[in-house]
């Protein structure tokens, strides 16, 4: 999107939703830039973090700091939760629960099991709050540029209410259907990324066997029809470094997509099999 388009989108967002008070939990490498974009767009934003050091970059940002998730929830109409996994999301939700009121929207932006979202949504409904799932893809650089992908599942009215917030850091923002749809789409995306990493690594190793060094082979493939995002990642970091950066999370995601597909009587073709190839090389084989 060009600069004019970004300005127009921001104006629309401000007109429709700047009065929404936003809470944000999860100021990591991706969540941090997301929160900063929300703050910079003029939203009254409240932050909470487990570690006080995580709040320091926002000391003069205009954001308010909460002493607890419950305090954050009491000052928020919409809450973005961008922590690591199911247990973390549930822990944050448990801490917020006493302060949830009718109309509060909790956007789960972590990648977790759809069943966890369903459980949290049922609990939230008991006090009139709404849970939607809205996992993201793209990384910190995309968040800082306002170019994340947000995949949303859940109530359309709640989505419409919070979409202007998502628009501050994402393009596109896609509503996929009922609660859990966003998680399912993200899990398939992550499995495909991992499968592509397997194939990219195999291609580089085959080139090496043919006497073509990896850097040159990566340049050739990156300039040809075999190019992919995964190729760039594997060529830049290698599987060992990728493993250090978070292969355990992808192992979790591939396991979940396999489980949900099996529960629904769906095959995964070669997707999971190929994804497991690079995960095994990185020391994260399929669970027995």
Is 163 annotated in the active site? Answer: no
Band (pLDDT 50/70/90 cuts) for residue 16 is very low
Residue 24's DSSP bridge partners are 47, 80
288 falls within a domain? no
Cα 70 to Cα 94: distance, rounded to the nearest angstrom? 9
CATH code, domain with 86? 3.40.50.720
User: What angle do the packed helices 214-222 and 181-209 form, to 10 degrees?
Assistant: 130
* Distance in Å from the first CA to the final CA of the chain: 45
Q: Which of 134, 155, 178 is the last residue of a domain?
A: 178
* 41 and 116 assigned to the same domain: yes
152 falls within a domain? yes
Domain count, the chain: 2
> Tens of pLDDT along 52-79?
999 999 999 999 999 999 999 999 999 9
Q: What is the DSSP string of the chain?
A: --HHHHHHHHHHHHHHHTTS-EEEE--STTHHHHHHHHHHTT--EEEE-SSGGGGGGGTTSSPEEPSSHHHHHHT-SEEEE--SSHHHHHHHHHHHGGG--TT-EEEE-S---HHHHHHHHHHHHTTT-EEEE--EESHHHHHHHT-EEEEEES-HHHHHHHHHHHHTTEEEEEEEESTTHHHHHHHHHHHHHHHHHHHHHHHHHHHHHTT--HHHHHHHHHTSTT--HHHHHHHHHHHHHHHHHHHHHHHHHHHHHHHHHHHTT---TTHHHHHHHHHHHTT-PPP-
Q: Which of 178, 210, 240 is the last residue of a domain?
A: 178
Structural domain that includes position 52: 3-178
Predicted confidence at residue 18, as pLDDT, reads 55
Q: Which of 128, 153, 178 is the last residue of a domain?
A: 178
pLDDT value at 98 more than 60:
yes
* 139 and 49 assigned to the same domain: yes
Nearest alpha carbon to residue 47 among 119, 168, 34, 207: 34
Mean pLDDT over each residue of the chain, to the nearest integer: 94
Predicted confidence at residue 268, as pLDDT, reads 98
Active-site residue (options: 113, 161, 186, 251): 186
> Tens of pLDDT along 213-228?
999 999 999 999 999 9
* 118 and 21 assigned to the same domain: yes
Band (pLDDT 50/70/90 cuts) for residue 12 is very low
> Tens of pLDDT along 156-165?
999 999 999 9
287 falls within a domain? no
* 138 and 11 assigned to the same domain: yes
pLDDT value at 128 more than 90:
yes
286 falls within a domain? no
Is residue 286 within 8 Å of 198, Cβ to Cβ? no
Band (pLDDT 50/70/90 cuts) for residue 7 is very low
CATH code, domain with 254? 1.10.1040
Cα 181 to Cα 185: distance, rounded to the nearest angstrom? 6
């Amino acid at each position: 999107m060009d600069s004019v388009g970004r300005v127009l989108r921001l104006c629309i967002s401000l007109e429709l939703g700047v009065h929404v008070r936003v809470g944000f939990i999860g100021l990591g490498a991706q969540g941090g830039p997301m929160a900063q974009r929300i703050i910079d767009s003029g939203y009254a934003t409240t932050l909470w973090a487990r570690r006080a050091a995580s709040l320091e970059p926002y000391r003069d940002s205009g954001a308010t700091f909460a002493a607890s998730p419950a305090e954050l929830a009491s000052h928020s109409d919409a809450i973005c939760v961008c922590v690591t996994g199911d247990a973390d999301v549930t822990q944050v939700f448990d801490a917020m629960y006493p302060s949830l009121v009718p109309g509060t929207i909790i956007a789960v932006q972590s990648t977790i099991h759809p069943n966890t979202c369903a459980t949290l949504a049922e609990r939230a409904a008991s006090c009139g709050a709404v849970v939607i799932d809205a996992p993201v893809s793209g990384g910190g650089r995309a968040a800082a540029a306002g170019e994340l992908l947000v995949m949303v599942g859940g109530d359309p009215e709640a989505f419409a209410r919070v979409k202007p917030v998502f628009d501050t850091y994402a393009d596109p923002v896609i509503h996929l259907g009922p609660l859990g749809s966003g998680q399912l789409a993200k899990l398939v995306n992550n499995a495909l990324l991992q499968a592509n990493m397997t194939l990219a690594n195999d291609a580089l190793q085959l080139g090496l066997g043919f006497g073509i060094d990896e850097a040159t082979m990566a340049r050739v493939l990156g300039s040809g029809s075999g190019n992919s995002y995964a190729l760039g990642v594997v060529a830049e970091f290698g599987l060992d470094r990728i493993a250090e950066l978070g292969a355990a999370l992808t192992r979790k995601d591939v396991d979940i997509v396999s489980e949900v597909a099996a529960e629904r009587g769906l095959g995964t073709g070669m997707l999971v099999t190929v994804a497991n190839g690079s995960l095994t090389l990185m020391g994260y084989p399929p669970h027995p």
